[in-house]
Amino acid sequence: MTRRLLFNTTRSIIIERGAAARLAEQVQSMGHRSVLLVTDPGVLATGLLVPVQTSFVHQGVALQVFSKVQADPPESVILEAVQAARECRADCVIGFGGGSSLDAAKLTALLARSEESLADIYGIERTNGRRLPLILVPTTAGTGSEVTGVSVITTGEGQKNVVISPALLPDVALLDADLTLGLPKAVTAATGIDSMVHAIEAYTSRHLKNPISDCLAREALRLLGDNLERVCENGSDAQARENMLLGACLAGMAFANAPVAAVHALAYPLGARFHVPHGLSNALVLAAVMRFNLEAAAPLYAELADILLPYGRGAVFERALALIAHLQALPARLGLPTRLREVGVSEEDLEALARDAMQQTRLLANNPRELNLDDILALYRQVF
């Protein structure tokens, strides 16, 4: 049988320090005159948008800022952003911030033009694909959302849903490392581990793993592994910041085509129920899930160990175990919580979390080893 490989990614990626201050020029070169910028209150409070707003004034391009995005955004925020886009007659949408802002911007650009119902497009390629022009500007080196056709939305207590479509890939992704220089250490650490999870799960995904995603995942993990502790020690290291941003982007390109699995399935309920930041949720369950997967994924883990632990020795299983031990120790070294009880989860919550995780069938199907409800509950208990 002839093999078919399809790889989708963002059309144009710009990597340049200071480029965000010239966003208006980019918008103007694309022929747009009225822009909705989607962000969150935290980004607004940092002052990162001031040079952006100044550039729009100087270029004479109308800019409306929607800053109500919250972590794990609910449907109501998306619908409010769509209304804002329509009211200002936006002919372009910019997402500026972390993964939640970028995800919200994707759906805003889509729904403002297509006039589809959000409830009708949850799932895989259920949209007609007509959207406003879209530019995404990440301010964290974490989600890789600027190069994925995925948007994750909270739809109820403990529940998240997704829209997956190539239409959500932006026209332009702008990676400006200067935007990440002021990130707190905890955010830098959690988002960095999030990116590492994307690379690891893409490399071991049971479905759609391919040579292109493998190359991207390996290079992403190299960049992230070489720079995460360095940038946590010195947040003003601009080169390390840029390396992290590029690593997150490459990991995003990898998992957009070779999808993530059980680590994310167990992490999502922690965000939806307890508002644990997504990167930290992944960090909390990563090592436990990898140990569970060992019997199916040890050879692939050993290959990744050669990237993060290049001077390691031993047979395949030993190198795989060394990788897991390294990743298990990493959150504590970076000052992050390591147990569920440290982020507000009680022992009585574990069964509900396990039930919620079992609903993430799209993600669980990609895992190298199948999990049932008892397996997931046991994993939560290991990290409680």
Question: DSSP string covering 159-183, please?
Answer: EEEEEE-GGGS-SEEEE-GGGGTT-
Q: Are residues 311 and 362 in the same domain?
A: yes
Name the band, by pLDDT with cuts 50, 70 and 90, for residue 116: confident
Q: Which ranges in the chain belong to alpha helices (H)?
A: 23-29, 41-46, 50-59, 75-87, 99-114, 118-121, 185-204, 211-233, 238-257, 262-274, 278-308, 316-333, 350-358, 361-364, 373-382
pLDDT attached to residue 114: 86
- The tokens of 94 are what? 């910019």
Q: Are residues 263 and 175 in the same domain?
A: no
pLDDT attached to residue 104: 97
Q: Are residues 176 and 193 in the same domain?
A: no
Confidence (pTM)? 0.94
pLDDT attached to residue 355: 96
Produce one character per residue of 22-47: b if its CB has 16 or more CB atoms within 10 Å, e if not.
bbbebbbeeebeebbbbbbebbbeee
pLDDT tens for 258-304 read: 999 999 999 999 998 998 999 999 999 999 999 999 999 999 999 99
Q: Is the pLDDT of residue 212 over 90?
A: yes
Q: Is the pLDDT of residue 159 over 90?
A: no
In which domain, by residue range, is 242 found?
Answer: 185-382
pLDDT attached to residue 128: 83
pLDDT tens for 349-378 read: 999 999 999 999 999 999 999 999 999 999
* Residue among 147, 176, 169 at smallest CA distance from 55: 176
7 assigned to some structural domain: no
CA atoms within 13 A on the CB side of 374: 0
Q: Is the pLDDT of residue 189 over 70?
A: yes
Mean pLDDT, the chain, rounded, equals 94
Q: Are residues 243 and 156 in the same domain?
A: no
Backbone angles phi, psi at 319, to 5 degrees: -70, -35
pLDDT attached to residue 1: 56
DSSP 20: G
pLDDT attached to residue 312: 74
Q: Are residues 128 and 256 in the same domain?
A: no
